[in-house]
Amino acid sequence: MSFKDQIAFVRQHIRRNRLRVFMTVLAATMGTAFLIVLASVGFGLQKTIKDDILSNQMVTQIEVYSEDMTDAKTDAMKKIGHVETVVHRKQLVPMALGELEGHTGSMNTYFTDFKDEQASGFKLAEGRFPEKPGEVIVGSQFAEQLIDESKELEEGEELATYEGKVIGQTFTFSFEGRNDENASAAWPFTIVGVKEAPGKDWAFDGYLYLDESFMEEMESAYAAASKDRSEEEDMPFTNSQVNVYADDLANVKSITQALKDDGYAVYSVSEEIEQIDVFFLALKAGLIFVGTIAILIASIGIFNTMTMAVTERTREIGVMKALGAGPKLIQRLFLMESAWIGLVGTVIAVVISYGVSFAANAVLPIIVDAALGGETGDSFEVTFSVIPWQLVLIASAISLTVAMISGWRPARKATKTDVIGALRHEL
Amino acid sequence: MIEVKGLSHSFRVGKKGKETEVPVLKELSLKAKDGEIVSIVGRSGSGKSTLLHILAGFLQPDTGRVLVDGTDLTAMNEAQRAAFRLERFGFVFQNFQLMPGLTAFENIELPLTLKGVPAPERKRKVEELMESTGLAAIRGHYPNELSGGQQQRVGIARALITEPPVIFADEPTGSLDSETEQDILNLILSLNRKYGITFVIITHDDEVAAIANRQYRMHDGELTEGGLRHVV
Ligand SMILES: Nc1ncnc2c1ncn2[C@@H]1O[C@H](COP(=O)(O)OP(=O)(O)OP(=O)(O)O)[C@@H](O)[C@H]1O
Ligand SMILES: [Mg+2]
């Protein structure tokens, strides 16, 4: 019997029992939709939390430590697979001072490559990146460390920090105590950009960012100015801070491993993310398990329907067998029928689930917001339900498997139908 | 050619543990040559149907062999016997055994569908056969919209559609009035002459048995050849 004829045969059976098949499909649909919607909440919460972590850019960052970091080494890191960029910041070790309109403060200074920084997600709140020598970028809280020390402080009064605009201002950068006439080590810097404030409230960014091309000049000027001071000779001019950025969170792990293999000390938040993933994997598995119970309940309906179908058609099965239908064909015809119920139920369930998920995401935040008196604010962005294709696949597999299994015994029963007894069977 | 040798069968009846063996077929032999009409007459309960079920491969005998053109049916498993039936046998039943969900046309088509014959060829064959057996007018009717005689004609057409060398018929006219019975018998005779199909007909009616070339009489599970009447 050709597959097409088998399908026609099954369809003819289904048509004769429309109502019963419809009710069974309905049960299968409800079970499967319940599973999908339930598990989608797990996916939704995971997405919400992950998006939150991902949004502050740190997750693809891998911190690398090495005693003697060189540009050659960081260039080699760029060649590791899936590395988006490598940022090699050199933090100035000697004390430096900045002075702007009578306000002074010590300068925490980085030499860096702005191209690499930009590739890693370094963003400006205002202004632009440096284009000429002498142009610099400062952190969002740069002004807070410039203090007017000439003002006498009354008790309880706050320090007189610089209040004006920093962008466009030119300030003087000098090494502490080395600004004498014979070896000048002071530079005027113009602030052309202010870095975006860090995502976390507690992070303080008062740094001064200089282009690394300026480092050599500064270093030799500093060396000349401190010729006759030997006490700090052993101090390096800069300390290296290297961050490697992966192109995707999924690749952080492999890059971390590659760096470890090369002998670097490494830290990344991928491990924390992994823990979150493990937690949600367990949660989702639990939800899918609960949902599967709903499908199992629906499977009782399928079992019932198919058993009745086989019993009802005992005589027909007998005739088919008498005419020469083999046991395999009989079994297949009944399995196809239960598979059809499972398949149609699943397809409808998927459509319904997407509808429910969409509605939940549209309506629930409004309800929650209203319940909390509208205090959740703009930052309240929760995805309640997400249905990724993997979930659809898992749910379909479970639903179809359960449908096939529950149709299995009735189908076996059909193949065991005794021809002689069946032909005697009265309708 | 069908040959049966030393066929015995008994049923176990009664409650579990207290079963008794009821011998139904006793060491019987039978022969049906190609193109013959063979009849088996006997009283109710003599074992005629049981014999036919074994010949058709519905039932495995306790002992004995059933050879169809030299192939031993009793040595096959269920699936093999089913495939063999599809290829070689047609069946006509006393109570027609048409599929209630299929039209007359589709019922006749069913064996071809089972064989995997492509739809256009099926359509052509069934239409041809319905035309020649006078069923063209009822092609779209469901079994419950047909008279007994019409249903049996459809049943015979279904047995015939695969052009099997052998057709088994268990009381083919048992549910029909005598006039319709005559129609059906004439149809069987003409098909036998036209296509040379071997018929094995079971009946308790001597008139039906009379159309056979070879007549057997069943009595308490024993089979004897030679009937009351001569071949017409
Ligand atoms: N499945 C069975 N289990 C037990 N006994 C059976 C079974 N089938 C048939 N018999 C017995 O076998 C004997 C022969 O039955 P069978 O149906 O072959 O008779 P028959 O000649 O066809 O009768 P009828 O003309 O009434 O159809 C009967 O006594 C019957 O009780
Ligand atoms: Mg009988």
Q: Which two tokens stand for residue A341?
A: 């119920």
Residue B25 forms part of a structural domain:
no
Residues A201-258 have pLDDT tens digits of 667 888 999 998 888 888 888 887 776 665 556 678 888 888 888 888 778 888 888 8
Question: Is residue B22 a part of any domain in this protein?
Answer: no
Instruction: Kindly give the distance from the C-alpha atom of residue B170 to the centroid of ligand 1, in angstroms, as a whole number.
Output: 13
Distance of residue A5 Cα from the nearest chain B Cα, in angstroms: 7
| Domains in chain A: boundaries | 3-56+275-424, 61-247
* Tens digit of each residue's pLDDT, chain B (232 residues): 899 989 999 998 888 888 888 999 999 999 999 999 999 998 888 999 999 999 999 999 999 999 999 999 999 999 999 999 999 999 999 888 999 989 999 999 999 999 999 999 999 999 999 998 888 999 899 999 999 889 988 999 999 899 899 999 988 888 788 888 888 888 889 889 988 899 999 998 888 888 898 999 998 888 898 754 444 4
Instruction: Kindly state whether B142 is in contact with chain A, defined as any CB-CB distance less than 8 angstroms.
Output: no
Q: Is B16 a member of any domain?
A: no
For residue A253, CA distances in Å to A84, A259, A260, A268, A274 come to 14, 10, 11, 9, 9
Write out the residue range of the structural domain in which residue B142 sits.
2-9+30-228
Q: Which helix (H) or strand (E) holds B216?
A: strand B214-219
Q: Is B102 in contact with B151 (CB distance < 8 Å)?
A: no
- Closest chain A C-alpha to B231 CA, distance in angstroms: 30
Give the tens place of pLDDT for each residue, A280-303: 899 999 999 999 999 999 899 899
Task: Please report whether residue B51 resides in a domain.
Answer: yes
Q: Any residues with CB less than 8 A from the CB of A149 and at least 6 apart, and which?
A: A104
Determine contact, residues B92/B172, Cβ cutoff 8 Å.
Answer: yes
Q: Is B21 part of a structural domain of the chain? A: no
CA–CA separation, A173 and A268 (whole Å)? 34
CA A307: distance to chain centroid? 47
Cα–Cα distance, B196 to B64 (Å, whole number): 28
CATH code of the domain in which B154 resides: 3.40.50.300
Give the DSSP letter string of A149-172: TTSPPPTTPPP-B--S--TT-EEE
- State which ligand 1 atom lies nearest to the alpha carbon of B42: 21
CB contact B161 to A (< 8 Å) = no
B163 contact A CB<8A:
no
What residues are in contact with ligand 1 under a 6 Å CB criterion?
Answer: B 11, 13, 22, 24, 42, 44-50, 204
Count of domains observed in chain B: 1
Which residues make Cβ contacts (< 8 Å) with residue A265, sequence separation at least 6? A64, A65, A66
Q: Is residue B62 part of a domain?
A: yes
- Give me the half-sphere count of Cα atoms (radius 13 Å) on the Cβ side of residue A280: 18
**Which residue from B141, B217, B142, B155 is spatially nearest to B184, judged by alpha carbons?**
B155
Half-sphere exposure of B177 (CA within 13 A, CB side): 3
B218 assigned to some structural domain:
yes
